Amino acid sequence: MKEERGEQPWLTCRSLPPGALERIADTVADRCRVPWFAGAVKINVSLVPPMVLLPVFLHIAALHFLLGLVVLTSLPAVVLWYYYLTHRRKERTLFFLSLGLFSLGYMYYVFLQEVVPRGHVGYSQVVLLTCGLILMLVALSRAKKDPGYLPISTSVDKPSQQAFPSKSVRGSSNGLHGAAAGGHSVNGETKGYSRVLAEEREGVKMDWCVKCQLVRPARAGHCRLCGRCVRRLDHHCVWINSCVGEQNHQAFILALFFFMLTSLYGIMLTLDTICRGRTPFTALFYCPGAYSDYSSALSFTCVWYCAIVTAGMGYILLIQLLNISYNVTEREARLALRDNAGRRLLGGLVIDTGQYNRGFLCNWGHFLSLGSPPQQRSAEDIV
Ligand SMILES: [Zn+2]
Ligand SMILES: [Zn+2]
């Protein structure tokens, strides 16, 4: 008992007990209420930091080159730290989506306010950039729709997938509860939540989800952040605050693609205005007049902010395109890595499980047919 009493986190140099930071954040969230006609309204604190802090930090960064360096290197670090914090909590958050959308809006505002008035950007170029932004937002809103959730039901007498668990399947699943208790989580999914039952009926491999109480089709997975099983689950994306699955994977790729195009075009136009006569790549690293006036400095800071975000998104898009080319989902790659089952290709950028890989063209054909009704799709899922 003595040892137990001695274990005070503030006396011993141990880390805070798990959940302490979360409790503080929850308390802050609880206190943040604004008076409204129908009583106090609790506001989502995760929405406040982007709206207040982003413009403030970008303005500070524009004051001096060194301040810019400090702010622009610490911003991604803070965002990554918050990402791991929310990922550990296994909770959905609007922070990343609001940060993304607000960043987009603010960058566009700075472009219109600081870059366009200088007269080097043509009317058609502004229209083109605006179109790119709109297309990206349309794709994003489609990506926010149902990723292909499997219906939650505890009843056995449901058609399709729900009808599948027979008594024998249910019986075998009960034996898995013990294993599930000890399982530790792997990126949003818990080991032991389900086991492939190796049920080969009608040639379809199915597995059982203890949480949703259903047998899910091949390639489906349970997302602990959404608390649902998703058809052909790729991953849970914090930036759209939703899963990426069978129904929204195409829209997700399209949104990433339009974001890349629009962002690169905006960076090019801005650098062309601030650093006349230099190529965009040279201007990004060597732009002597960038800090001569505050307007240029702010534009240059925003260019660098965009460049960092675009590099990150470009990496995600690259991995996604490689995964599609090999017909592997993020989830399958992660599980294959865990079980030492996959083949690392291109220096570990892609994990080929070999399970669904039918060659480059077939894999892309399969991806492009993802949204269509199941009967029209090829027998790719059925292995
Ligand atoms: Zn599930
Ligand atoms: Zn999810």
Q: What pLDDT, in 10s, does the model give residues 326-372?
A: 999 999 888 888 888 777 888 778 888 878 888 889 999 999 988 77
Ligand 1 centroid from CA 149, angstroms: 9
Question: Can you tell me which residue has the tokens 């207040």?
Answer: 52
Q: What is the pLDDT of residues 278-304, one digit of tens each?
A: 888 888 898 888 888 899 999 999 999
Strand runs (DSSP E) across the chain, as ranges? 33-34, 41-42, 185-186, 189-190, 196-201, 204-209, 214-216, 221-223, 228-230, 235-237, 242-244, 343-345, 350-352
pLDDT cut 70: percent of the chain above it: 70
| Ligand 2 center to 224 CA (angstroms) | 7
Q: Tell me what the mean pLDDT of segment 208-223 comes to.
A: 88
Structure tokens at 44: 């989502």
Confidence class of residue 179 from pLDDT cuts 50, 70 and 90?
Answer: very low
| Ligand of minimum distance to the alpha carbon of 225 | 2
Question: Is 223 known to be catalytic?
Answer: no
Q: Are residues 115 and 126 in contact, defined by beta-carbon separation less than 8 angstroms? A: no
Domain positions in the chain are 2-41, 48-147+247-325, 149-230, 326-383
pLDDT for position 374? 56
**Å from CA of 18 to ligand 2 middle:** 23
Ligand with minimal distance to 207 CA: 1
* Closest ligand (CA of 248): 2
DSSP codes, 1-34 = -HHHHH--TTTS-PPPPTTHHHHHHHHHHHH-EE
Torsion of CA 285, 67, 133, 82, to 10 degrees: 120
* pLDDT, tens digit, 9 for 90 and up, residues 86-114: 777 777 888 888 889 999 999 999 999 99
- Ligand 2 centroid to Cα of residue 228, in Å, is 7
One-character DSSP codes across 276-317: TTS-HHHHHH--TTTTSSHHHHHHHHHHHHHHHHHHHHHHHH
Average pLDDT rounded to a whole number, residues 368-378: 66
Question: Which residues are registered as beta bridge partners of 41?
Answer: 34
Those residues whose C-beta lies under 8 Å from the C-beta of residue 14, and which sit 6 or more positions away, are 7
Q: Which of 226, 237, 243, 302 is catalytic?
A: 237
Give the closest ligand to the alpha carbon of residue 194.
1
Distance between Cα 69 and ligand 1 center (Å): 44
Q: Give SS3 for 205.
A: strand
The β-bridge relationship of strands 343-345 and 350-352 is antiparallel
The answer to whether the beta carbons of residues 233 and 247 sit under 8 Å apart is no
Residue 317 has pLDDT above 50, yes or no: yes
Measured between alpha carbons, how far is 285 from 209 in angstroms, rounded to an integer? 51
Calculate the average pLDDT of the chain. 76
Q: How far does residue 225's CA lie from ligand 2's centre (Å)? A: 5
Of 270, 277, 325, the C-alpha closest to 300 is: 270
Spatial separation of the C-alpha atoms in residues 328 and 314, rounded to whole Å: 19
Ligand at minimal distance from the CA of 228 is: 1
Between 188 and 152, where is the model more confident? 152
The average pLDDT across 179-192 equals 39
Rg for the chain, CA atoms, rounded: 25
| pLDDT, position 216 | 86
Q: Which two tokens stand for residue 97?
A: 């989506």
Answer whether 54's CB lies under 8 Å from 103's CB.
Answer: yes
Q: Tell me what pLDDT residue 49 has.
A: 67
What pLDDT, on a 0 to 100 scale, did the predictor assign at position 276? 87
CA of 173 to the centre of ligand 1 (A): 13
Alpha-carbon distance 70 to 220, whole Å? 43
Assigned token pair, 60: 């500070």
CA of 341 to the centre of ligand 2 (A): 24
- The contacts found for 225-229 with CB under 8 angstroms, 24 or more apart, are 225/90, 225/91, 225/92, 225/188, 226/92, 226/149, 228/149, 228/150, 228/152, 229/149, 229/150
Determine the average pLDDT of the residues in 248-271: 95
What is the structure's pLDDT at 43? Answer: 57
- The band of 17, judged by pLDDT with boundaries at 50, 70 and 90, is very low
**Burial level of 376, CB count in 10 A (0-12/13-18/19+)?**
exposed
Residues in the chain: 383
CA of 90 to the centre of ligand 2 (A): 10
